[in-house]
A and B are shown apart, each in its own frame.
Chain A
């Protein structure tokens, strides 16, 4: 028995040498998927863990189909990309966001299929990645149960309805957008994969402020909060496309924050 284990270890070592596997820093969360996810997402890029990437979520996953997460990297200069992922989800990556003319901040809701690390990774101009996150306990089934609108049967009547608001604060605007979409994972019997896969935001002049690729691990009826560089009176255009090639579009005029009661801090 012992001999066999040694032989397997040697074989694996040989395998490693053959692939010249990049070395990632030790995962503070001790996730069984860290190496595999890091290899897929970061490849040969330098990676380090950095607490300035704030991955914020509630203390309890009250609804494993709709788990709110925010990634706030405003304390880091030069962020070009924000990737939100959950190691142990069958579809680990939820959002890959490029804040082109926007603060490095993203809030959305994802599905959880079990207890898992939820992480944010931000990429800087030099290609390096800064990663942070935490564990959240969750009941199963976030990705493998049918969406509520499929059970109710009214998803098609509301497909593509968009709601939102843009409020200008002192450093840019706060844009919130929601879509009605089943965001089918393909993991439910007899329901094929069907989800919104791209979302982009442009200013009045057609300049791209931010865009994202999203996957079916984003919750049904997806919602996003981002902070684009836009001022009061400007009209933002939000475009999205789903995996059936269906396009969605919405327009929002930016209102003054002062019209609202709460003062938004960090």
Chain B
């Protein structure tokens, strides 16, 4: 069917177009049981793009005796409303707590669907969302347009200042870490022993670094490794039943990335060439590897040049 501008302007075709947009904007939210009273909603293993509505982050749903807990809540108010309905149907109890693991919009812009008083985040995450949230929101509207409709910027209303929260006997250990961003929350469901790593953990998916501090990230991975746990839910990619693979994959990538970018600078590569450098075969199973390498070049390269290239103008 070919739509001319004129037929678009007439009522019939316009109605048809609206219907197709409304249809496109239904997210598919399919919780997969991981443990007793713990479900994972998988994000698409893709960059944020219109076709996936920005639903690329993993979400965890936890049933507790007193209510439902969500770890992250997706990119838009539309996603979060669907998530809330799905989770409440699943557990039979209303959502009483939403944790936002870090500031990135694929994890937290959906908080607009909840009362800020039940949305909890680390203090630095709250500061960062208040500072950068509207820029992230603009970028998401530009890429996702109608998926984002009605998504107002909201800021979490509860500061996480304790290392544990109890929900009628099911308690969650809260770990205040950093490295993927200035403040990264990881959670341990003590009943099941499952670790919810937020974006400190990527599994079969290349880690993204727009706000990363690789040294701090490495420290946080050490902490997660030392923490007794069973399986691990990464921020992106499939559930890691062994609980060690997501940690080691994430560390392997950021270690390689850091060394490879420094090598590229001192070898005389420009940013374009660095972004096209060979990726070692052991990372062949990681989704979005080239894409994330090119993003990381944009995040780190000018800073590395400043550090590694000598002054040539006689100054120091």
Residues of A within 8 A of B (CB): 56-60, 62-63, 66, 68-70, 107-109, 139, 160-165, 167, 174, 176-178, 221, 223, 225, 238, 248-252, 257, 260-262, 264
Number of A-B contacts (CB under 8 A): 106
* B311 contacts chain A at the CB level, 8 A cutoff: yes
Beyond contacts A58-B271, A60-B294, A260-B268: 11 other A-B pairs, Cβ-Cβ < 8 A, are A56-B276, A62-B299, A68-B298, A139-B139, A161-B315, A163-B312, A176-B268, A223-B271, A223-B302, A249-B313, A264-B267
Q: Provide the residues of chain A in CB contact with B312, threshold 8 Å.
A: 162-164, 177, 238, 250-252
Instruction: Please determine whether B267 and A62 come into contact, CB atoms closer than 8 angstroms.
Output: no
Give B302-316 interface residues, CB cut-off 8 Å to A.
302, 305-306, 309-315
List B9-55 residues whose CB lies under 8 Å from chain A.
Answer: 47
B141 CB to closest chain A CB, in angstroms? 10
Return the contact of B269 from the options A56, A60, A109, A262 (Cβ within 8 A): A262
Residue in B47, B210, B271 with the greatest tally of chain A CB atoms within 10 Å: B271
- Beta-carbon contact of A66 and B298 below 8 Å: yes
Q: Is the CB of B313 within 8 A of A248?
A: yes
Task: Kindly identify, within residues 82 to 134 of chain B, every residue whose CB is under 8 Å from any CB belonging to chain A.
Answer: none
A165 partner, pick from B47, B268, B275, beta carbons under 8 A:
B268
> Which residue of chain B is the closest to A226 with respect to CB atoms?
B270
Task: Judge whether B291 is part of the interface by a CB distance below 8 angstroms.
Answer: yes
Q: Is the CB of B294 within 8 A of A70?
A: no
Q: 19 A-B contacts, Cβ less than 8 Å apart?
A: A58-B294, A62-B210, A62-B294, A66-B302, A68-B271, A68-B298, A139-B139, A139-B142, A161-B313, A163-B305, A163-B311, A165-B266, A167-B268, A176-B270, A176-B305, A223-B302, A223-B305, A252-B312, A262-B263
Residues B274-297 near A (CB distance < 8 A): 275-277, 290-291, 294-295, 297
Bound-state Cα–Cα, A56 to B277, Å:
13
Bound state CA distance, A261 and B305, in angstroms?
16
Q: Give complex CA distance A261, B262 in Å.
A: 11
Query: Number of B residues contacting the other chain (C-beta, 8 Å)?
Result: 35
Please tell me if the beta carbons of A262 and B272 are within 8 angstroms of each other in the complex.
no
| Interface presence of B273 (CB below 8 A) | yes
Q: Is the pair A262, B264 in contact by a Cβ cutoff of 8 Å?
A: yes
**Shortest beta-carbon contacts, A-B, top 8:** A68-B271, A250-B312, A62-B298, A107-B270, A262-B267, A163-B309, A58-B294, A162-B313
A165 CB contacts on chain B under 8 angstroms: 266, 268, 309-310
CA distance in complex: A182, B40 (Å): 47
B275 and A264 contact, CB distance less than 8 A: no
A163→B310 contact, CB < 8 A: yes
A60 to chain B, nearest CB (A): 6
Q: B316 — nearest CB in chain A belongs to which residue?
A: A161
CA distance A229 to B273 in the complex (A): 20
Known: A139-B139, A252-B312. Is A70-B270 also a contact (CB below 8 A)? yes
Interface membership of chain B positions 241-267, coded 1 if the CB is closer than 8 angstroms to chain A and 0 otherwise: 000000000000000000000011011
Q: Closest chain A residue to B266 by CB distance? A: A260
Structural contact, B270 and A178, CB atoms closer than 8 A = no
Across-interface contacts of A248 in B (CB, < 8 A): 313
Binary contact track B192-232/A, C-beta < 8 Å → 1, others 0: 00000000000000000010000000000000000000000
Please give the distance in Å from B4's CB to the nearest CB on chain A.
16
CB-CB < 8 A to A60: which residues of B? 47, 291, 294-295
User: Chain A residue with minimal CB distance to B142?
Assistant: A139
Alpha-carbon separation in the docked complex, A252 to B312 (Å): 6
- Report whether A178 and B294 are in contact in the complex, using a CB–CB cutoff of 8 Å: no
Expressed in whole angstroms, the Cα–Cα distance for A56 and B272 within the complex equals 7
The CA-CA distance from A164 to B310 in the complex, in Å, is 6
Contacts of A62 in B (CB 8 A): 210, 294-295, 298-299
Nearest-neighbour CB distance to chain B for A175, whole angstroms, equals 8
Instruction: Name which of B277, B299, B311 has the most chain A CB atoms within 10 A of its CB.
Output: B311
Residues of B contacting A58 with CB < 8 Å?
271-272, 275, 294, 297-298
- Chain A residues, Cβ within 8 Å of B268: 165, 167, 174, 176, 225, 257, 260, 264
